[in-house]
Amino acid sequence: MEKLIITAAISGAEVTKEHNPAVPYTVEECVREAGSAIRAGASIIHLHVRKDDGTPTQDKDRFKTVMDAIHAQYPDVIIQPSTGGAVGMTNDERLQPTELNPEMATLDCGTLNFGGDEIFENTENTIKYFGEKMIERGIKPELEVFDKSMIDMALRLGEKGFIKSPMHFDFVMGVNGGISGTLRDFIFMRGSIPADATYTVAGIGRFEFPLAAAAIIDGGHVRVGFEDNTMISRGVVAESNGQLVAKVVRLANEFGRKIATPAEAREILGLTKK
């Protein structure tokens, strides 16, 4: 079985210090939280950035500042910027971090009702546009799928040349408006991707660690972090992203999965360090 790739989603665009005081906003806080996750065993940092007051931004210069600061201390880690941005941003605004030519970036494969009047819009043409830009810039997309229909969209657009194979999926499960975080639905998602594809699972809230265990046993990979869950256990706020990663490492040890280094993660995912 392949070694386990752990991704740490250290901040997200929606979670705030009101949810957990350790959620990072500033450059220094992002380095602190990325470092805690890397030292605990994460080989990928999934990155959103904020202004110092916590406002989400896709500004290319802000991404560069944060990415450079993380790489200055942890040069081998894979940094995977988000192109999800925040609700209401334009396509080109969301794509700004891809102009920095990262190894990976996320590509959301469908529209989602986040709750209330918030709609996270990803039309077919948006997905095609993002896919073309990532191919042009030599970036491997992590295909964010919140439901089985989004897997179907990715496969259909892959056949048309907008997404290259082998694909790498991130099953984001338990989000309002998306597929639930049950084991039944994990098995459904897992059985819907091509044999040559790899996947990571990101369970939201209380689904984080049960789904992490399922992915570890199945041979998949795991994403944890404050973007998805700010609690280390029921009613207990996590001290850091590293504490969440360390819990996944303990689960992996129980099930006999070794943890991938960044170099091993690159080999598994077919990345070339830039």
What the chain holds in terms of domains, given with CATH numbers, is 6-269 (3.20.20.70)
Residue 83: the pLDDT is 97
Q: Tell me the pTM.
A: 0.97
- CB contact at 8 A, 87 and 52: no
Q: What is the mean pLDDT of the chain?
A: 96
Residue 233 DSSP class: E
- CB contact at 8 A, 260 and 43: yes
The alpha carbon of 200 is separated from its chain's Cα centroid by a whole number of angstroms, namely 8
Tokens of 185: 């639905």
Residue 110: the pLDDT is 96
Question: Among residues 87, 123, 131, 75, which one has the least CA distance to residue 105?
Answer: 131
Residue 188: the pLDDT is 98
Q: Which residues of the chain have pLDDT under 50?
A: none
Q: What are phi and psi of 204, to 5 degrees?
A: -95, 135
pLDDT tens, position by position, 204-263: 999 999 999 999 999 999 999 999 999 999 999 999 999 999 999 999 999 999 999 999
Question: Among residues 179, 195, 9, which one has the least CA distance to residue 109?
Answer: 179
Beta-carbon count within 10 A of 253 CB: 12
Beta-carbon count within 10 A of 261 CB: 15
